[in-house]
Amino acid sequence: MDKHLFHALDQFWNPAYSCFTFRGIDLVPTVEEYMALLRCSKIQIK
């Protein structure tokens, strides 16, 4: 684990919106990125 990386990411984390904010631009993961993070191969709709 890189402590410096986590410290840098923590500075840009916006807890109100659960995303990273860089110079006023919110970066929110896409559905595909969430699927990759969760290791899902497809979305199931019920």
Total count of domains within the chain: 1
**Global pTM value:** 0.44
Order of all β-strands in the sheet with 13-14: 13-14, 19-22, 25-27
Q: Which residues span the domain enclosing 24?
A: 3-38
Task: Provide the pLDDT for residue 41.
Answer: 66
What does pLDDT average to over the chain?
Answer: 75
Pairwise CA distance, residues 25 & 41, whole Å? 29
Please report whether residue 30 resides in a domain. Answer: yes
Q: For a pLDDT cut of 70, what percent of the chain falls above it?
A: 80
By CB neighbour count within 10 A (0-12 exposed, 13-18 middle, 19+ buried), where does 18 fall? exposed
User: Is pLDDT above 80 for 29?
Assistant: no
Q: Does the pLDDT at position 4 exceed 80?
A: yes
- Give the model's confidence band at 23: pLDDT under 50 very low, under 70 low, under 90 confident, else very high: confident
